[in-house]
Structures are given as structure tokens and as C-alpha cells.
Chains A and B, each alone.
Chain A
Amino acid sequence: MSFIKVLILKFSSLRTQTMASSDKTINTDVPEKDVFAIHFLQSLSNLTTQNPFNSPDTTNYRARKIKKAAYVSMAKAAGGSSRLWSRALLGRAAKENNKIVRFARRKRKVTWKISSKRRSDQRAPEATDRLRNLVPGGGTMETSKLMEETAHYIKCLSMQVKVMQCLVDGLSPK
């Protein structure tokens, strides 16, 4: 109960949250749970204003909208364009809405991906490919980058799940 109370106080005085940008060293810190919660609540309330929940939409349609809102808000909470997986997620979502998404150009060191990928993938090729399919944007990453992104993605996913579970518990009949 207290978590929801704190959340309400923070949500009513919403300010844009800035996250520390991740530098080139391996950093897999994720924001606190309430950052995810605030983003999710905000996108949920946008959903309800667009399609009020008592309109005759099928439950399936609503659930899909909520699921999409969950992923988009998670990507935003996790830092938007500062992570490869969140960029890929937001780009994919925007493409579904036919929006043109422009991210600021980041200076990226050119790495010879072809030769380096083949060498480091020799260790566990199949599992790495499966991981690439699961992590957004994983198809073109180097293996070490993929691991880093996976760690961050897993942390953010579990945060998002916790937030959603809190909401469901709050709304469920006692």
C-alpha cells in the first residue's frame, strides 16, 4: 500500500526524469522502480483518454495496447536512446504507428563487425543467435555488446514486471 501512496505523490508532481547517460565502460545500472512505474502509469493514462475502458473494445485489443504501452514505457524509463535495445524497441513501435523517429546522431567507433563477430561467435553460436532474436536490436551487435545489452534488458524487464504486478495487486479484489 505504501508503495502506491509514494507513487501517487510522485505522479502528481511529474517532472521529466533524466537518467545518467551510460558511457563506454560497461554499465548495467537501471533506474529505480518508481521511474518505470511513473512512465507506465503515464502511458496507461494516455491510453485511457484515447480509448476509454468502457468502450466496446475486445479484451484482446486492450491487452495488446497495454502490452505495447508496457514495452514502450519500459524503453523510455530505461533511457530511451542511450541503449541499443531501447532504441530498437522505440523505433519498432514508432514504425508500427507510422511515425518517423529520429535519434540524435551518436558518435560510434567503427568496428569491423564481420570478422570480429565470426571469431567471438565460435564459442556458442546457436545460443547467441537465439539471444539475438530475443533482445531488441540484437541482430547487429557484437557479442560483448549483446551481453551487456542483455544484462540491462533483463534488469529492466524484471522491473517492469514488478511494477505491473504491483498495479494488478492494487486493483485486484481484496
Chain B
Amino acid sequence: MSSRRSSRSRQSGSSRISDDQISDLVTKLQHLIPELRRRRSDKVSASKVLQETCNYIRNLHREVDDLSDRLSELLASTDDNSAEAAIIRSLLNY
């Protein structure tokens, strides 16, 4: 068993996957997700972290969609509601 592992590490070199590395990355992910950061305890299971990660990414995609829609509407309207809006429009060559 150990010979198999060492032969694998010889092939993959510095990028050998270890359980510690994966759990370390899972913890890192946990700290990034707002839902799980509140919990603070390290007892969140890996599958829960992955599940929440997927939900979080989907939410972010949805936000980008929504903000793109709003931006396209705002940029299409020609009234300058504030000096800031005028500056932004001039920045974007409009």
C-alpha cells in the first residue's frame, strides 16, 4: 500500500493530494461562504460546505444577471439623474 502511494507521489510531484489538503481547502471555502461563516464551528460537514458553495455560486450568477439587466436599462435611458451618472456615462463614451 505504501509503495503504491509513494509511486503515485513520484508521478504527481508537488501536487500530491492529501486528506489534510482537501479538508484545509474545505475549511477555506467554508470561511468564504456567508451562510456558513456565521456558524464558526468547524463541525460543518464537507458535503454541507460543497452544497452551500453550489448555492452561493448560483446566487452570484443570478446577481450578475440581474445587475446586467439593470445596467442595460440604466445606460439606455438618457436622463442624467446626478453628476455622478453624467461622469459615468462620459467615461463609457456615451
The bracket for how many chain A residues form the interface is 35 or more
CB <8 Å contact, B74 and A168: yes
A33 adjacent to chain B (CB < 8 Å): no
A45 adjacent to chain B (CB < 8 Å): yes
| Cα of A97 to Cα of B29 in the assembled complex, Å | 33
A49 nearest CB neighbor, chain B only = B93
On whether A124 and B67 interact (CB within 8 A), knowing A62-B72, A109-B13, the answer reads: no
- Could you say which of A54, A59, A131, A172 contacts B69, with CB atoms under 8 Å apart? A59
CB <8 Å contact, A134 and B13: no
CB <8 Å contact, B53 and A172: no
On whether A53 and B94 interact (CB within 8 A), knowing A124-B50, A127-B50, A135-B57, the answer reads: yes
A58 nearest CB neighbor, chain B only = B72
Chain A interface mostly: helix
Residue count of chain B within 8 Å CB distance of chain A: 52
Enumerate chain B residues within 8 angstroms of A161, measured Cβ to Cβ.
60, 63-64, 67
| Cα of A170 to Cα of B80 in the assembled complex, Å | 11
B28 adjacent to chain A (CB < 8 Å): yes
| Cα of A67 to Cα of B62 in the assembled complex, Å | 11
B1 adjacent to chain A (CB < 8 Å): no
B19-62 interface mask toward A, CB cutoff 8 Å, 1 = contact, 0 = none? 00110111011001100000000000011001101101110110
CB <8 Å contact, B60 and A63: no
On whether A164 and B75 interact (CB within 8 A), knowing A45-B92, A173-B81, the answer reads: no
CB <8 Å contact, A134 and B58: yes
CB <8 Å contact, A155 and B71: no
Known: A67-B64, A171-B75. 4 other contacts (CB 8 A): A48-B93, A123-B47, A144-B17, A147-B25
* 10 examples of A-B residue contacts, CB within 8 angstroms: A4-B87, A44-B92, A52-B94, A54-B76, A66-B72, A70-B68, A142-B15, A143-B22, A144-B25, A154-B32
